[in-house]
């Protein structure tokens, strides 16, 4: 069983991912030991840029924070000397060891500028574009760490990443609402007559459930298309592809909660998820 006990000593980077990105931490544990830390470095980098909105008091400071990471990447690629920052140092080691694509890393930073805007997503298509931009490059970089590449792989993880991110956005809806933001697109709010006042007051409604169900169905279709488009995916890609099963697990729980994103039963549940991932990885079934 590749998943080690959490009592085993973790690096600072791996422990950071364990605490703040539990799902990806679980999938990364299935990577070969000599590649696991590089995956953790990618996920820790993603955490750093994803939390930009919450870490700053105003958008201009957020833009400066993202620029700091662009400059850090430039120094890594141009000089090979990372800044004195734990995540930057770990990322530099992964870049050096796995020849990671600089453009992919920079595209993740660029995508996070959208988080600093207060404008709503106008359509499901716009939300899907954002979901893919903030997640697909990360999955492709993860495959690169595992030594997997190719057009078919890129197409598969594009869909899988979009489905994974859509699921994550729905799960995080209460978090967004606490800062007066919503990720439910305007077209779905209009189509299902979502009561915005009830939404901002964290009150479930039939309209909200219908909108969340519609997004869940889109997420499932992306996950299914990802699996169909890469039927011969190698077992070496499993640590990244298992993220699709993570999303499927959470979508099922959301369905059982009646598509109410405020249902308290949606919290926790990683024990069953860990067992599911182990079974999938052991028998090589996605």
* pLDDT given for residue 52 in this prediction: 96
Q: What are the residue boundaries of the structural domains of the chain, listed by start?
A: 12-115, 118-277
pTM: 0.92
Confidence of residue 75 (pLDDT cuts 50, 70, 90): very high
* pLDDT given for residue 185 in this prediction: 97
Domain 118-277 has CATH 1.10.600.10: yes
Q: What is the pLDDT of residues 182-232, one digit of tens each?
A: 999 999 999 999 999 999 999 999 999 999 999 999 999 999 999 999 988
Written as one string, the DSSP assignment of the chain is -----TTS---HHHHHHHHH-HHHHHHHTTS-HHHHHHHHHHHHHHHHHHTHHHH-SSHHHHHHHHHHHHHHHHHHHHHS---S-HHHHHHHHHHHHHT--HHHHHHHHHHGGGGG--PPP-SHHHHHHHHHHHHHHHHHHHHHHTT---HHHHHHHHHHHHHHHHHHHHHTHHHHHHTT---S-HHHHHHTT--HHHHHTT---HHHHHHHHHHHHHHHHHHHHHHHT-TT--GGGHHHHHHHHHHHHHHHHHHHTTT-TT-GGGS--HHHHHHHHHHHHHHT--
pLDDT at 8 over 70: no
């Amino acid at each position: 069983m590749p998943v080690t006990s959490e009592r085993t000593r973790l690096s600072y980077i791996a422990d950071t991912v364990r605490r703040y990105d539990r799902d990806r931490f679980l999938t990364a544990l299935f990577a070969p030991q000599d590649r696991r830390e590089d995956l953790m470095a990618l996920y820790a980098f993603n955490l750093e840029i994803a939390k930009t909105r919450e870490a700053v008091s105003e958008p201009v400071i957020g833009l400066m924070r993202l620029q700091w990471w662009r400059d850090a990447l430039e120094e890594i690629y141009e000089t090979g000397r990372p800044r004195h920052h734990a995540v930057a140092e770990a990322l530099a080691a992964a870049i050096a060891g796995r020849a990671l694509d600089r453009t992919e890393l920079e595209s993740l930073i660029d995508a996070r500028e959208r988080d600093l805007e207060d404008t709503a997503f106008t359509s499901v298509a716009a939300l899907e574009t954002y979901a893919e931009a903030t997640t697909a490059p990360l999955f492709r970089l993860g495959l690169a760490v595992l030594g997997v590449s190719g057009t078919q792989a890129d197409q598969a993880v594009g869909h899988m990443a979009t489905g994974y991110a859509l699921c994550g956005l729905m799960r995080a809806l209460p978090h967004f609402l606490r800062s007066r933001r919503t990720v439910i697109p305007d077209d779905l709010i209009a189509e299902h007559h979502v009561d915005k006042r009830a939404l901002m007051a964290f009150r479930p409604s039939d309209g909200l459930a219908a909108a969340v169900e519609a997004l869940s169905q889109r997420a499932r279709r992306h996950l299914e298309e990802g699996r169909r488009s890469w039927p011969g995916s190698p077992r070496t890609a499993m640590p990244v592809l298992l993220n699709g099963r993570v999303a499927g697990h959470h979508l099922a729980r959301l369905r059982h909660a009646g598509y109410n994103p405020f249902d308290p039963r949606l919290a926790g549940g990683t024990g069953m998820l860990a067992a599911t991932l182990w079974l999938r990885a052991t028998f090589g079934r996605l």
